[in-house]
Chains A and B, each alone.
Chain A
Amino acid sequence: MYAQKATIQNEAGFHIRPAQLFSEKAVQFQSTILLKPEGTTTTADAKSILNLMTLGLEKGAVVLIEADGPDEQEAVAQLAALIESGFGEA
């Protein structure tokens, strides 16, 4: 298992488009990938856009990306980078 933290950068938070981009990236990996918002007990399946959206993550929220599987390191690194990039939004 491999994990890393990331901070939501874009103004509107994890709305449809970021959730879509994130889940599309996540399904490219074989590993099971979970997203855990810091300070909560909730967990979301990173491959589920619906799960991701219902987390209601806003700008500044810190999440732990946790992957388990053959490509876990690569998955976590790429997904963290995607969040930190602000999904190409302001």
Chain B
Amino acid sequence: MSVTQAEKQFNGLGVSEGIRIGKAFVYQPLKLEAIEESKNDDAEHELKRLELAKEQCLAELGALVEKTSDSLGEEKAAILKGQISFLNDPSFYPPMRKLVEGEGWTAETAAKRTVAQVAGLFEAMANEYMRERAADIRDVGARLISHIVEHQGARLEDIREQVIIVADDLTPSDTVQLDKQYVLGFVTSMGGKTSHTAILANSLGIAAVLGAGEAVDDIPHGAELVIDGTTGRCVLHPNASTKAEFEGRSLAENEEQERLRSLADLPAVTLDGVTVELAANIGTPQEAAGLLAKGAEAVGLYRTEFLFMGTGAMPSEEEQYRAYREAAAAMQGHAVVIRTLDIGGDKELPYLDLPKEMNPFLGYRAIRLCLDRRELLLTQLRAMIRAGAHGTVKIMFPMISGMEEWRAAKELYEEARTQLAAEGAEIPAFMEVGVMIEVPSAALLADRLAREVDFFSIGTNDLVQYTVAVDRMNEKVAYLYDYFHPAVIGLIKTVIDAAARHGKWTGMCGSMAGDPSAAPLLLGLGLNEWSMASGSLHRVKAAVRGLNQTQCKAFAAKLLELDTAAEIRQALANFQQS
């Protein structure tokens, strides 16, 4: 029995609700670039280190393959089997030995250099699929070097019990390896409300506290931890009374959830009889399955990125079609708005091999990348159109900044239709095709875009970032990141009004739509479709059902006159209907 540790409290941003008590799983991956190159003074000894690390890697991979084929499927097992064959390959391990014996490098330097050389060979290949294999080489290299330098970090793939994952940050390629059933919550030192981890946690209903800073470094692996994903409060080594307090609040939270759940079957209709469409954001087709029961009337945003991140290579048209069809079928005729690939920015795809950029959010991402790699977008559009035969699929293009991009994307959509028709494929006679409004230039051109598109969906997360010029990952300027900024509200109004003038509808799929305190404003501005994390549906519905649109319209007009986000927040907090 160890000595009882003193309790330690710290705070972060609560980004995904839920009170959780569990063991910390500290994830600190080894970074290849952190290995410093140096020469050895005992080649024999270095060869032994190398050999031992290789044997450990092989044993570990062998055990992992067995477990993986049972629990995560053959496809992931195949990736691990690939790693085994690389380790046994005459052009992988033997060159490392040569670098140690011939050139006198240490084991880790020799491994790092060989990995870089082999990965470089793959990167230089003409075939895109082959270029993408460089990431596999680096993965196995990192595994080998972890053993050489006896890097102590635990790996996500080893999790076999329910834990709270503690890390600096989690990338999409990290979270792909996670077996979600074991994840109670996330605690990270970096990241904010709209980071990948926050979005993933929300869509899976995992409690999360992000941006907790240096306090995270002091959490020992295996230590007991309680976290509150609403307030951002965390306690390391909680004592009995703290645990009792959190357990009590967890119980109260469940009761509140229960009460809100009873609203699921009621319509989202205002006191004066105006119905709005409440929809949910999803990242995988499986999430669509329970949505109708939770009270969602549509999927307002299906993010397709996870489909592209789950594998080592580009998903085929057939794989994509099956996923989109599954979501469309699960919604039983209710709309599913599928967004084309929104990659770049903070979301990378190792196999696309995108160069690092100084300003990734202003760079080669989303529709810009997809219009450049036409085959990629064409394949995705074909899969979406085919899925349209099994439900109501609507197609949405992200990051549109003006008419040229919209027209180029629409043309590609028409091309995909023409191809499919010529092939005799089953396709729907008509599909709605719209754009996401997240770049201020598109919001300002909304009146022109509205003539040609079928709908708008406002992505507030990026719209705030681009309008106020605030990096949403940078905690130092996070105070500027506010969707109640008067300029943002002005743009939202411009977009909704433009769509209405042309008989089109406007949705919103950013965090703002899921914020019940914003409901009087959004209802007053005339937003038609509200799409949010499914966990927010009940609360927003409760808010909408308590509002009167006529009064909200007059109220929204007054809000538009206010000068600062703080004033708007204050007015919303004080809003009372007569």
Q: Which residues of A contact B (CB under 8 A)?
A: 12-13, 15-17, 20, 23-24, 45, 47-51, 53-54, 56, 58
Determine how close the nearest CB of chain B comes to the CB of A75; give it in whole angstroms: 16
B89 and A16 contacting across the interface, CB-CB below 8 Å: no
A16 partner, pick from B92, B118, B121, B133, beta carbons under 8 A: B133
B82 and A16 contacting across the interface, CB-CB below 8 Å: yes
The complex places the Cα of A53 from the Cα of B89 at a distance, in Å, of 12
B91 and A20 contacting across the interface, CB-CB below 8 Å: no
The complex places the Cα of A2 from the Cα of B130 at a distance, in Å, of 30
- A and B contact pairs by CB, cutoff 8 A, 28 listed: A12-B129, A13-B127, A15-B129, A15-B130, A16-B133, A17-B78, A20-B82, A24-B85, A45-B90, A45-B91, A47-B90, A48-B89, A48-B92, A49-B85, A49-B86, A50-B86, A50-B91, A50-B118, A50-B137, A51-B89, A51-B91, A54-B122, A54-B125, A54-B130, A56-B126, A56-B127, A56-B130, A58-B127
B133 partner, pick from A13, A45, A51, A53, beta carbons under 8 A: A53
Chain A contacts for B85, CB-based, 8 A: 20, 23-24, 49
Chain B contacts for A13, CB-based, 8 A: 127
**Digit string of B437-470 for contact with A (CB within 8 Å is 1, else 0)?**
0000000000000000000000000000000000
Query: Which 6 residue pairs across A and B have the least CB separation, nearest first?
Result: A48-B91, A48-B90, A50-B91, A54-B121, A50-B89, A49-B85
The complex places the Cα of A48 from the Cα of B121 at a distance, in Å, of 14
Determine how close the nearest CB of chain A comes to the CB of B318; give it in whole angstroms: 13
The complex places the Cα of A54 from the Cα of B137 at a distance, in Å, of 12
Chain B contacts for A58, CB-based, 8 A: 127
Q: Which residues of B contact A (CB under 8 A)?
A: 78, 81-82, 85-86, 89-92, 118, 121-122, 125-127, 129-130, 133, 137
Chain A contacts for B121, CB-based, 8 A: 50, 54
When C-beta atoms are compared, the residue in chain A nearest to B136 turns out to be: A16
The complex places the Cα of A12 from the Cα of B313 at a distance, in Å, of 13
When C-beta atoms are compared, the residue in chain B nearest to A46 turns out to be: B90
B125 partner, pick from A17, A20, A48, A56, beta carbons under 8 A: A56
Determine how close the nearest CB of chain B comes to the CB of A80; give it in whole angstroms: 21
When C-beta atoms are compared, the residue in chain A nearest to B79 turns out to be: A16
The complex places the Cα of A19 from the Cα of B578 at a distance, in Å, of 74
The complex places the Cα of A71 from the Cα of B341 at a distance, in Å, of 52
Interface centre among B89, B92, B122, B133, by most A CB within 10 Å? B89
When C-beta atoms are compared, the residue in chain A nearest to B312 turns out to be: A16
Determine how close the nearest CB of chain B comes to the CB of A10; give it in whole angstroms: 13
The complex places the Cα of A24 from the Cα of B122 at a distance, in Å, of 21
B89 partner, pick from A12, A15, A49, A56, beta carbons under 8 A: A49
The complex places the Cα of A12 from the Cα of B90 at a distance, in Å, of 24
Determine how close the nearest CB of chain A comes to the CB of B559; give it in whole angstroms: 57
The complex places the Cα of A71 from the Cα of B125 at a distance, in Å, of 33
Determine how close the nearest CB of chain A comes to the CB of B81; give it in whole angstroms: 8
The complex places the Cα of A47 from the Cα of B125 at a distance, in Å, of 20
